[in-house]
Structure 1
Amino acid sequence: MLASRHLLVVLVLVLVAALAVTGYSLYQEKKQPDGVEISVGKNGLSIKEK
């Protein structure tokens, strides 16, 4: 009985940690970086200031 309760607590903690890591990863992906963006496409060179 006690082992199953500990297992449940561990599983909940792992799920919470995975959710936190996923949320932080999505936040970093959506955050706009400061500086200059340089890209090369079919229309030539493009430089945008952020």
Structure 2
Amino acid sequence: MTRNVLLLAVGALVVVVGVLGYSLYEEKKQPDGVSIELGSNGLSVEQK
């Protein structure tokens, strides 16, 4: 029984690490296309 609980805990940890890694990857990934920013210097348009 304790071995099953240990395997379940390790599996859950692997899933959590995978989800967090994918989330960080998506957050850091630069979007493709055009970036439009409105700041104190006016309108800025950049193609990515």
Give the TM-score taking structure 2 as reference length.
Answer: 0.85
Q: RMSD across aligned C-alpha pairs, in angstroms?
A: 1.0
Unaligned runs of 5+ in 2: none
Aligned residues: 48
Query: Which residue does 2:8 correspond to in 1?
Result: 10
Unaligned runs of 5+ in 1: none
1:7-45 CA distances to partner (integer Å, 9 max, x unpaired)?
Answer: 110100010000001111111111111100111122222
Report sequence identity in percent: 54
